């Protein structure tokens, strides 16, 4: 796939990452010359280092080996396992692993520009074109992960690194998704693979994750929406010190009240409203985000339903209006999947939190119900609905 910015979204074959055993920690200094400290990660310090033989510059994360059986063991194992599986232009590249009795050293590509949080603090906000480039790269990486049933679960500004420094022109927005300690590999988006553990950073956390009702890979898309909102205006869309308070704010839906929104296109706002849909069944997917006119640089606001479930809702609404005089016609409100916007008070307790994980059979059954309810003058069939079904649910 060729992107609007000339990049390729297709990664090369997965790599065999070398794992080298060190007798002593000092042995690593015979291979690398250590430079300045780059930062403090979730479970280790990161330093710039130069390979003595090739003179290639890398970043080395130094992790104290966690105690056996501790939660940190799972976190470190997750990071290593997933980074060994992935190979994408906008995901941090793991070059090698060194192990000693006391330490684990992860050698990754060097990102000289810091992270997006640091850059946002300097800039206060990003232009729409700058945001578009960043969000395209981020969505491209998330599509790649979701195709491999990997859910990041902690996408945030701090975990998006900049390959180059801020004075390197357009290349300064070459981003790398990092920190996979909370990531998981699932069996797909079917009902049996629902996750329940709440994790990540509160202001980026999807409402279905906080609700305790179960969630899937759509939680990453919510996080993309929060990141995009913050890039454009410098502030998060929802703020609270508690999870309960944040959920209450989220139920009021996204609003564009900051002065920065006066210069942002309606197309960008439309994208945000679909990334930040409370009900994950109606939320835009990462792949759909890549297909929006806004990503291609257009300012046109799309019309019509965003996915197959909205199309069914619209169909049922139309047919209900047409068939009001026919006995036996069920009202649309009896349908079990209702958008969160329509039921703000009850949606947190509603079973629709797993609606985004409907498999093809479940959606086909919904389509059958829609077909049975339409009037004698309607001609919509299941075959007519297959293209949006693939686009929305069968990535």
Report the C-alpha gap between 163 and 183 in whole angstroms: 22
323 and 257 share one domain: no
Residue 118 above 80 pLDDT?
Answer: yes
Residue 3 lies in a domain: no
- 121-148 pLDDT per residue, tens: 999 999 999 999 999 999 999 999 999 9
Question: Rounded mean pLDDT of 270-285?
Answer: 95
Residue 269: pLDDT band (50, 70, 90) is very high
Residue 243 lies in a domain: yes
Mean pLDDT of the chain: 79
* Whole-model pTM over 0.85: no
Q: What percent of the chain has pLDDT over 70?
A: 70
241 and 318 share one domain: no
Residue 61: pLDDT band (50, 70, 90) is very high
Number of domains in the chain: 3
Domain C-terminal end among 52, 77, 109: 109
Per-residue confidence (pLDDT) for residue 100, from 0 to 100: 96
286 and 245 share one domain: yes
Residue 297 lies in a domain: no
Per-residue confidence (pLDDT) for residue 222, from 0 to 100: 97
Residue 120: pLDDT band (50, 70, 90) is very high
Q: Which residues are annotated as a binding site for ATP?
A: 61
Q: Tell me, what CATH number does 31's domain have?
A: 3.30.200.20
Q: Which of 203-217, 239-253, 296-310, 346-360 has the lowest mean pLDDT?
A: 346-360
327 and 268 share one domain: no
Residue of 191 and 1 predicted with greater confidence: 191
Residue 392 above 50 pLDDT?
Answer: no
Per-residue confidence (pLDDT) for residue 248, from 0 to 100: 92
Per-residue confidence (pLDDT) for residue 335, from 0 to 100: 28
Residue 42 above 90 pLDDT?
Answer: no
Q: What is the 3-state secondary structure (H, E, C) of the chain?
A: CECCCCCECCCCCCCCCCEEECCCHHHHHHCEEEEEEEEECCCCEEEEEEECCCCCEEEEEEEECCCCCCHHHHHHHHHHHHHHHCCCCCECCEEEEEECCCEEEEEEECCCCCEHHHHHHHHCCCCHHHHHHHHHHHHHHHHHHHHCCEECCCCCHHHEEECCCCCCHHHHHCEEECCCCCCEECCCCCHHHCECCCCCCHHHCCHHHHHCCCECCHHHHHHHHHHHHHHHHCCCCCCCCCHHHHHHHHCCCCCCCCHHHHHCCHHHHHHHHHHCCCCHHHCCCHHHHHCCCCCCCCCCCCCCCCCHHHHHHHHHHHHHHHCCCCCCCCCHHHCCCCCCCCCCCCHHHCHHHHHHHCCHHHHHHHHHHHHHHCCCCCCCCHHHHHHHHHHHHCC
Per-residue confidence (pLDDT) for residue 7, from 0 to 100: 42
| 313 among known catalytic residues | no
Per-residue confidence (pLDDT) for residue 390, from 0 to 100: 31
Question: Rounded mean pLDDT of 300-309?
Answer: 68
Write down the catalytic residue from 154, 174, 220, 313.
154
Q: What percent of the chain has pLDDT over 90?
A: 57
Residue 101 lies in a domain: yes
Residue of 62 and 75 predicted with greater confidence: 62
Residue 270 above 60 pLDDT?
Answer: yes
Highest mean pLDDT among 272-281, 296-305, 318-327: 272-281
227 and 358 share one domain: no
353 and 224 share one domain: no
261 and 324 share one domain: no
- 190-209 pLDDT per residue, tens: 555 678 888 989 999 999 99
Per-residue confidence (pLDDT) for residue 75, from 0 to 100: 87
- 65-107 pLDDT per residue, tens: 988 888 888 889 989 999 999 999 999 999 999 999 999 999 9
200 and 328 share one domain: no
Q: Which of 52-56, 229-233, 238-242 has the lowest mean pLDDT?
A: 238-242
274 and 364 share one domain: no
Residue of 378 and 87 predicted with greater confidence: 87
Q: Which residues are annotated as a binding site?
A: 61
Please give the residue range of the domain that contains residue 381.
308-393
Per-residue confidence (pLDDT) for residue 196, from 0 to 100: 80
Residue 26: pLDDT band (50, 70, 90) is very high
């Amino acid at each position: 796939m060729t992107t609007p910015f000339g990049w390729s979204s297709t990664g090369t074959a997965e790599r065999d990452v070398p794992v080298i055993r060190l007798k002593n920690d000092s042995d690593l200094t015979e291979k690398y010359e250590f430079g300045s400290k780059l930062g403090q990660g979730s479970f280790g310090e990161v330093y710039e280092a130069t390979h003595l033989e090739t003179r290639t510059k890398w970043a080395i994360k130094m992790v104290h080996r966690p105690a056996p059986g501790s939660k940190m063991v799972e976190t470190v194992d997750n990071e290593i396992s997933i980074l060994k599986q992935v190979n994408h232009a906008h995901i941090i590249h793991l070059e090698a692993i060194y192990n000693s009795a006391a330490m684990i050293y992860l050698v990754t590509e060097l990102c000289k520009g810091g992270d997006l949080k640091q850059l946002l603090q300097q800039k206060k906000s990003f232009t729409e074109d700058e945001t578009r480039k960043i969000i395209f790269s981020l969505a491209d990486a998330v599509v790649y992960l979701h195709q491999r049933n990997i859910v990041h679960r902690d996408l945030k500004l701090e975990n998006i690194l900049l390959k180059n420094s801020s004075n390197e022109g357009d290349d300064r927005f070459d981003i790398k998704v990092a920190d996979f300690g909370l990531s998981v590999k699932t069996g797909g988006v079917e009902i049996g693979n629902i996750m329940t553990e709440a994790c990540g950073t509160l202001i980026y956390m999807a409402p279905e994750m906080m609700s305790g009702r179960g969630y899937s890979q759509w939680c990453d898309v919510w996080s993309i929406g929060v990141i995009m909102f913050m890039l454009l205006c410098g502030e998060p869309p929802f703020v609270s010190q508690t999870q309960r308070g944040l959920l209450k704010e989220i139920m009021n839906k996204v609003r564009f009240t900051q002065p920065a929104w006066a210069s942002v296109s309606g197309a960008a706002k439309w994208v945000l409203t679909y990334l930040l849909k409370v009900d994950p069944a109606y939320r835009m997917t990462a792949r759909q985000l890549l297909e929006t006119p806004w990503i291609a640089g257009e300012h046109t606001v799309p019309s019509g339903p965003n996915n197959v479930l909205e199309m069914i809702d619209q169909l049922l609404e139309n047919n209900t209006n047409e068939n009001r005089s026919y006995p036996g016609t069920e009202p649309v409100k009896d349908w079990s999947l209702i958008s969160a916007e329509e039921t703000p008070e009850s949606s947190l307790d509603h079973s629709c939190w797993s609606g985004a994980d409907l498999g093809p059979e479940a959606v086909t059954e919904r389509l059958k119900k829609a077909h049975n309810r339409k009037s004698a003058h309607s001609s919509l069939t299941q075959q007519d609905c297959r293209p949006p079904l693939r686009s929305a649910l069968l990535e």
